[in-house]
Amino acid sequence: MNPNWKNFLLSQQATFESDTRIRFPSPSDPNAKTLYAVPHLAVLTIGGKDAALLLQGQLTCNVNDVTETQGSAGALCNPKGRAIATFLLVKSADAFLMILPAALLEPVKKRLQMYVLRSNVTLTDSSSELCLIGLCDPATRDGALFATSQREEVISVALSAPQSRYLVIAEADKAIALWSERVNHQGFQQEGTEQWRYLDILCRFPWVMPETSEEFIPQMLGLDLLGGISFTKGCYTGQEIVARTHYLGKAKRALFLAECDTLAAPAPNSTIIDDGADTEQAVGKVLEAAHGHGESVCKMLVVLQASGGNADNLKLKDHNQHKITLLP
Three-state secondary structure string covering the chain:
CCHHHHHHHHHCCCEEEECCEEECCCCCCCCCCEEEECCCEEEEEEECCCHHHHHHCCECCCHHHCECCECEEEEEECCCCCEEEEEEEEEECCEEEEEEEHHHHHHHHHHHHCCCCCCCCEEEECCCCEEEEEEECCCCCCCCCCEEEEECCEEEEEECCCCCEEEEEEEHHHHHHHHHHHHHHCCCEEECHHHHHHHHHHCCCCCCCCCCCCCCCHHHHCHHHHCCCCCCCCCCCCHHHHHHHHHCCCCCEEEEEEEECCCCCCCCCCEEEECCCCCCEEEEEEEEEECCCCCCCEEEEEEEECCCCCHHHEEECCCCCCEEEECC
Q: Encode pLDDT of 226-260 as tens digits.
A: 999 999 998 999 999 999 988 887 788 999 999 99
CA distance 298 to 135: 22
pTM: 0.94
Mode of pairing for the β-strands spanning 83-92 and 298-305? unpaired
Residue 278: predicted pLDDT? 65
Residue 113 has pLDDT above 80, yes or no: yes
d(CA 234, CA 62) in angstroms, rounded, equals 9
162, pLDDT greater than 60 = no
Average pLDDT, the chain: 92
Looking at the DSSP bridge assignments, the partners of residue 96 are 46, 91
Q: Which helix (H) or strand (E) holds 102?
A: helix 102-113
Sign for the CA dihedral angle at 59, 63, 68, 69 comes to negative
The per-residue pLDDT for range 32-43, each reduced to its tens digit, is: 899 999 999 999
pLDDT tens, 257-282?
999 988 889 999 999 998 776 667 88
Listed residue (296, 278, 295, 262) closest to 286, CA to CA: 262
Q: How confident is the model at residue 328 (pLDDT cuts 50, 70, 90)?
A: confident
Measured distance CA(12)–CA(61) in Å, rounded: 38
Strand-pair partners of 56: none
Strand-pairing partners, residue 44, are: 98, 125
